[in-house]
Structure 1
């Protein structure tokens, strides 16, 4: 085998030139600077420059901020028009965009809980989705909410219920796109002050004229304060109900003839409902939709009297068939993929800063990148048959970004020369 070297300025990430142009053409850089304001002139880089470089790290295969120094800086300089900055500049920008963490003390236990809200970046998160057309004012959306433990050994990380140090951010999402994010320290359970978190999420969306039709959440939202607040901000809600003696007794009294057999995917189950259910000792009646699945061990439930696993969904939807209610709730499993995407594609597994305030800013910024990527791959797949709108980032990088390329001067114009048989030209129309 023989090897020869060349000094030609060829980049292995030629596809990023198209991404950079799409980012500029989307109007997001102007939105970022208008929303966040100008940095001190002596810093040299705007917030849109910082966002562009930070986005470039993940869309070129990096997984931490330092990758821009170690691997990508020289290649990014081959992208015409980009202002390449260092990892230190990106980290300074993240810290500038952080807001002070608020501490709430539980009056009963005396435990202190750190919450980081950052309304300006959350507002940008929604405005960016509106700018790309991923959210529209004349439509009602389904809103999902979930919390997730993010293990990390950062300076202020608290002990989580999983017995690891970390954070436990809460994310509200629409169509698997983050639309609101709050940083929570790891010792703050998902139930704690959740009504206040959700109220801020609804207010952020309403402030941008985004309407919510249905709300969906797990059993951490099964609280009177949450149900009351959610009911005021959407048409209908679907919340996993916590079992209790009262509920078990009512389940056991459902006549066998009222159970309807159905199949959701590969899962066979039976469904029924209990109208007029009044949880939390309140006066408001709701509907409790029950699903039951036969236990493999045939062990009888001592409360309900059947050899089944029972699950309940509390809702104010009095019209939809039981099967549709269960199917809609179970589909929230797709929204939980957000944490997988953010951890593995957009750097949440490697928090870059030492404090919750800074890492919350980082998480919201990378959520903006994830939403832009969904827009990008959706638009590109309409023009390129060899791309699919559901590609995860790694597959997109392998199939689109990693192509050898160089800029050459022809006459008075610069032309991007790509060393591939794939046709990228439809993206220019």
Structure 2
């Protein structure tokens, strides 16, 4: 039943109703080993009835797979976690779909899931569904600890997050785990006075930087804050805290031992996670609501994260180097949805491609790679 949910996600059949097209596709049944394909109502019942028991087990299996494929495919000595949340606008009376953080559609009901990715590999190392009124940083400490447990203890780790994660308990957890971090700070009156009166070092005609130590109320210790002051530009990014006169100010709390401008350069690379979230929401059914039950939809969200990672692992381990930059849409059209014919001769089934099929060699390359991989069961 799980495969009947994941295969359509990978193929781009995002809604359960659309996946019913596979019900009468005998070639698909043969190639996947599925004797039949469940109808949409059966799939929904499975999600509702199995979610409470199955979701914790799926988390464990998925984490084990993440750990395995990271070790298989990477020689990196350090990793970078990027955290973000997103709003998924929904229409209906699904459990947990309520008004809350939804900048794209203010006032609309939504889910507000949380995601963490690894910036170099582009793997999604964790994520979960939350009600629409969840605060941005709700659950981030648990998500960090889950993602950290996937990596070898010898790995050096850095973390980036926007101002929604400017939270004392999160910063303290990162610091206590010897994780280098860069988190966009929220302004306060005392902090604003400090960096408005600070001395700035000119970087170029537009940018100047400064730094200071500051301990917010209820935080256990002071931390380093780096400030970027720049001449106001209408196209300034979301790092801007506020503007005053002709300057815009941005601030990051960090324990990185690099220059203030280097901290901002490091943070800007976090934009990769925004692309991953767009893929999860547009190319996979992440944070969708196929049922009215929150736990069932949370299971569906975890399956969509697994489907995304399976595609990433397949691309990284089984496809040629010049295919590594291909988008999921390109992979679907060029490889996963290739035209072919299943021929039955005697007791032998043969999958044949049209003559001069442009990507037949890539298909065979991937198949050979798959056959050399160790079985996980």
Query: TM-score, normalised to structure 2's length?
Result: 0.81
> In structure 1, how many angstroms separate the alpha carbons of the residues matched to 2:233 and 2:74?
46
Q: Deviations over 1:278-324 (max 9, x none)?
A: 22364622111112231148xxx9x986511111000112x212222
Q: Deviations over 1:206-234 (max 9, x none)?
A: 54454561121111111222211222234
Q: CA RMSD in A?
A: 3.0
Q: Counterpart of 2:28?
A: 76
Q: Counterpart of 1:333?
A: 271
3-state SS in 1 of match to 2:81: strand
State the 1:356 CA deviation: 1.6
3-state SS in 2 of match to 1:254: coil
> In structure 2, how many angstroms separate the alpha carbons of the residues matched to 1:272 and 1:84?
63
3-state SS in 2 of match to 1:403: coil
CA contact (8 A) 2:160 2:183 kept: yes
Q: Counterpart of 1:205?
A: 147
Q: Counterpart of 1:307?
A: 246
Which of 389, 399, 410 in structure 1 is aligned with 2:334? 399
Q: Counterpart of 1:51?
A: 2
Q: Counterpart of 2:135?
A: 189
Query: TM-score, normalised to structure 1's length?
Result: 0.72
Q: Deviations over 1:366-397 (max 9, x none)?
A: 100001111122334317x5xx2232222212
| Aligned pairs (5 A) from 1:90-109 | 90-99=43-52
Q: Counterpart of 1:39?
A: none
Q: Which runs of 5+ in 2 are unaligned?
A: 235-239, 369-377
> In structure 1, how many angstroms separate the alpha carbons of the residues matched to 2:17 and 2:174?
41
Q: Counterpart of 1:223?
A: 167
Which of 81, 87, 94 in structure 2 is aligned with 1:149? 87
Q: Counterpart of 1:389?
A: 324
CA contact (8 A) 2:174 2:181 kept: yes
3-state SS in 2 of match to 1:189: coil
> Structure 1 residues 218 and 94 mapped into 2: Cα distance closer, same or farther (>3 Å)?
same
State the 1:271 CA deviation: 4.2
Count of matched residue positions in the alignment of Structure 1 and Structure 2: 345
CA contact (8 A) 1:215 1:238 kept: yes
CA contact (8 A) 1:171 1:180 kept: yes
> In structure 1, how many angstroms separate the alpha carbons of the residues matched to 2:63 and 2:5?
19
State the 1:57 CA deviation: 0.9
> In structure 2, how many angstroms separate the alpha carbons of the residues matched to 1:425 and 1:366?
27
3-state SS in 1 of match to 2:187: coil
Q: Counterpart of 1:61?
A: 12
> In structure 2, how many angstroms separate the alpha carbons of the residues matched to 1:296 and 1:428?
51
> In structure 1, how many angstroms separate the alpha carbons of the residues matched to 2:265 and 2:227?
12
> Structure 1 residues 283 and 91 mapped into 2: Cα distance closer, same or farther (>3 Å)?
closer
CA contact (8 A) 1:165 1:186 kept: yes
CA contact (8 A) 1:173 1:335 kept: yes
Which 10-residue stretch deviates more, 271-280 or 232-241? 271-280
> In structure 2, how many angstroms separate the alpha carbons of the residues matched to 1:325 and 1:185?
33
Q: Which runs of 5+ in 1 are unaligned?
A: 1-49, 101-116, 262-267
Which structure has the greater CA radius of gyration?
A: 1
Which of 227, 232, 245 in structure 2 is aligned with 1:295? 232
3-state SS in 2 of match to 1:98: helix
Correspondence 1:249 to 2:193 = yes
> In structure 2, how many angstroms separate the alpha carbons of the residues matched to 1:51 and 1:210?
29
3-state SS in 2 of match to 1:184: coil
CA contact (8 A) 1:214 1:237 kept: yes
Q: Counterpart of 1:418?
A: 353
Detail structure 1 runs of 4+ shifted over 6 Å in the superposition. Answer: 134-138
Q: Deviations over 1:62-84 (max 9, x none)?
A: 12112222356415224263343
